[in-house]
């Protein structure tokens, strides 16, 4: 009876005027906390045949929905609102994913699409099983009032969502954001990562220091080469502190304490530009046998960030030498 009256999926609710008072109250409480509400944040889909789960909007692979992790691809997708089973289908006994897009993708968007492909290919679509909702705060997957109470007090959203939101709002070039995003997800092909994927390498030593293993965390946040570059950039803005050595914490703590929201978006853009410049420099050492040079990376950060402000920034009138000499003054027009 409940099933016929209220439906089973999240988008199959009966219109509000036919709902009982207690049901209206219940749904209102569940939707508190922004977006789709805290309740939706605690349930996760276990995909069977993909008959109920919405591809972009529901949480079914990883801990966030795909539209949060890949907002750029979501905005280009013609599959918004589609169920998983509508994002292609069976070829004999093999499941094939085919996403449809509004237009061709740029190179950096294609990389993102490959990432998405790798992520969803981990999920096994099962022809004869229905999609079921699981309550993720209980290991049994079954809802309990006690665990719901614990979720509500104190309530906090998935911190990962906030990190990605800040990153995609950062002011810099999309290709720079793309690299930074891959670093935050630990999906950048460092030597250590390649070896984990089964690629045979002579060495997994860090290209910069040649001492430690070249993991994502080491290369960008722990290596003495990277730390030196971060320091140069912080000193350029007149900031002194010791950054975290873990990517997401490093990104989150990288802020201008006295800065406005807009200024901090530029500052987060500089964070992404530093990460991008480190990766570019590392690649030119590996592929072009360049020499490791901290100053060169730092100057690249200054130039790349200035280019963005000059061409994309709102009424940015400062010359490159102004930017190099006094960056805080240059961004003070962004209130």
Return residues touching Zn ion (CB under 5 A).
206, 208-209, 223
CB of 293 to Zn ion, least distance (A): 14
For residues 172 and 192, which CB has a smaller minimum distance to Zn ion in the complex? Answer: 192
CB nearer to Zn ion: give 151 or 274. Answer: 274
Q: Rounded to the nearest whole angstrom, what is the least distance from the CB of residue 211 to Zn ion in the complex? A: 6
- Supply φ then ψ for residue 314, to 5 degrees: -80, 120
**Cβ-based nearer residue to Zn ion, 250 or 268:** 250
Closest distance between Zn ion and the C-beta of residue 218, in Å? 6
Q: How far is the CB of 208 from Zn ion (least distance, A)?
A: 4
Which CB, 19 or 217, lies closer to Zn ion?
217
CB distance 191 to 205 below 8 Å: yes
Tell the burial category of 185 from Cβ atoms under 10 Å away from its Cβ (0-12, 13-18, 19+). middle
* Min CB(183)–Zn ion separation in Å: 15
Helix H, strand E, coil C: the string for the chain is CHHHHHCCCCCCCCCHHHCCHHHHHHHHHHCCCCCCCHHHHHEEEECCCCCCCECCCCCCCCCCCHHHHCHHHHHHECCCCCEHHHCEEEECCEEEECCCECCCCCHHHHHHHHHHHHHHCCCCCCCCCCCEEEECCCCCCCCCHHHHHHHHCCCCCCHHHHHHHHHHHCCCCHHHHHHHHHHHCCCCCCHHHHHHCCCCCCCCECCCCCCCECCHHHHHHHCHHHHHHHHHHHHHCCCCCCCCCCHHHHHHHCCCCCCCHHHHHHHHHHHHHHHHHHHHHHHHHHHHCCCCCHHHHHHHHHHHHHHHHHHHCCCCCCCHHHHHHCHHHHHCCCC
Select 30 or 209, whichever has its Cβ closest to Zn ion: 209
Tell me the angle at which helices 159-169 and 261-288 cross, rounded to the nearest 10 degrees.
80
> How many Å apart are CA 86 and CA 81, to the nearest integer?
10
Nearer to Zn ion, 208 or 270 (CB): 208
CA atoms within a 13 Å half-sphere pointing along the CA-CB vector of 113? 16
State which residue, 86 or 217, has the beta carbon closest to Zn ion.
217
Kindly state the smallest distance separating residue 277's Cβ from Zn ion, in Å.
16
Q: What's the closest the beta carbon of residue 237 comes to Zn ion, in angstroms?
A: 24
CB-nearer residue toward Zn ion: 13 or 209: 209
Minimum Å gap between C-beta 205 and Zn ion is 8
CB of 219 to Zn ion, least distance (A): 6
Query: Residue 204 or 255: which CB sits closer to Zn ion?
Result: 204
């Amino acid at each position: 009876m409940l099933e016929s009256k209220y439906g089973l999926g999240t988008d199959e609710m009966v219109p509000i005027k036919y709902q009982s008072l207690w049901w209206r109250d219940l749904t209102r409480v569940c939707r508190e906390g922004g977006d789709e509400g805290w309740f939706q944040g605690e349930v996760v889909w276990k995909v069977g045949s993909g008959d109920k789960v919405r591809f972009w909007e529901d949480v079914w692979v990883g801990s966030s929905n795909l539209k949060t992790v890949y907002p750029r691809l979501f905005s280009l997708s013609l599959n918004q609102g589609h169920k998983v089973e509508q994002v292609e289908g069976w070829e004999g006994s093999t499941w094939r994913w085919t996403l449809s897009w509004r237009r061709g993708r740029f190179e950096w968007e294609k990389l993102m699409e490959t990432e998405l492909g790798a992520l969803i290919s981990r999920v096994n679509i099962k022809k004869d099983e229905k999609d079921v909702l699981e309550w993720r705060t209980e290991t049994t997957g079954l809802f309990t009032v006690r665990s719901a109470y614990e979720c509500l007090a104190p309530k906090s959203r998935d911190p990962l969502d906030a990190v990605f939101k800040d990153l995609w709002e950062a002011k810099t070039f999309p290709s720079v954001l793309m690299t930074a995003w891959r670093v935050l997800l630990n999906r950048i092909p460092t030597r250590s990562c390649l070896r984990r994927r089964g690629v045979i390498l002579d060495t997994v030593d860090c290209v910069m220091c040649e001492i430690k293993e070249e993991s994502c965390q080491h290369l960008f946040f722990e290596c003495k080469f990277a730390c030196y570059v971060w320091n140069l950039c912080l000193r350029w803005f007149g900031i002194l502190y010791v950054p975290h050595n873990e990517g997401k914490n490093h990104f989150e703590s990288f802020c201008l304490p006295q800065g406005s929201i807009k200024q901090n978006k530029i500052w987060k853009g500089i964070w992404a530009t530093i990460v991008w410049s480190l990766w570019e420099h590392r690649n030119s050492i590996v592929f072009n046998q360049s020499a490791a040079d901290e100053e060169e990376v730092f100057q690249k950060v200054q130039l790349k960030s200035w280019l963005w402000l000059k061409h994309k920034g709102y009424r940015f009138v400062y010359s490159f030498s102004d930017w190099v000499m006094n960056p805080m003054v240059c961004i003070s027009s962004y209130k």
